[in-house]
Amino acid sequence: MNAKDMQVISTRTHGVLDYLTVGFALAFPRVLGCSQKFTNAVTAIALGKLAYAMMTRHELGLVKMIPMKTHLALDAVGGATLAALPFLMDEDEDPAAVGCAVGMGLFDIAAAPITQTTPVADDAGGMSRSSGGASRGGRRSSTTHHAQESMPSVAGL
């Protein structure tokens, strides 16, 4: 079994999971009555994740600037940070807070290597980086995109 066979989460599903986990991360420290310092740290991680999720080149990204592989690396780093946070901030006395932070962190770390790195709609440039491929039924002609990338430079002539 190769690495591609292990990538069972589509980029679309990963995008949904991103937005759901951001919502959960914003809610759990408030619901559990965690310290303001811990709540602020988890909120910062969640808002950072929201920002890069909205800027990722996948079906649910709004701006489509960040490659999916970069997004997944950020997920792993953010997940490790979130998992360590209760112990770094002396919040380890509250088992519910520890469970939420460590569980979410480990989930982010585990999801990264099993997520596909190319959106299904991205047929060799078929997903627009700025419009989300909204033209012509969700797909954009890749002819113009490829022509711009493969044109030789006139400076080299």
What pLDDT, in 10s, does the model give residues 66-122?
A: 999 999 999 999 999 999 999 999 888 899 999 999 999 999 999 999 999 998 765
- Please report the pLDDT score of residue 3 as a whole number: 65
Share of the chain above pLDDT 90, in %: 68
Across the range 144-148, mean pLDDT stands at 40
pTM score of the predicted model:
0.74
Q: Where are the alpha helices (DSSP H) in the chain?
A: 3-6, 11-31, 36-54, 68-88, 95-111, 135-138, 142-150
| The two structure tokens encoding residue 99 | 């469970």
b/e burial code for range 95-124 (CB count within 10 A of at least 16 → b)? eebbebbbebbebbbebbeebbbbbebbee
The residue among 119 and 151 whose pLDDT is bigger is 119
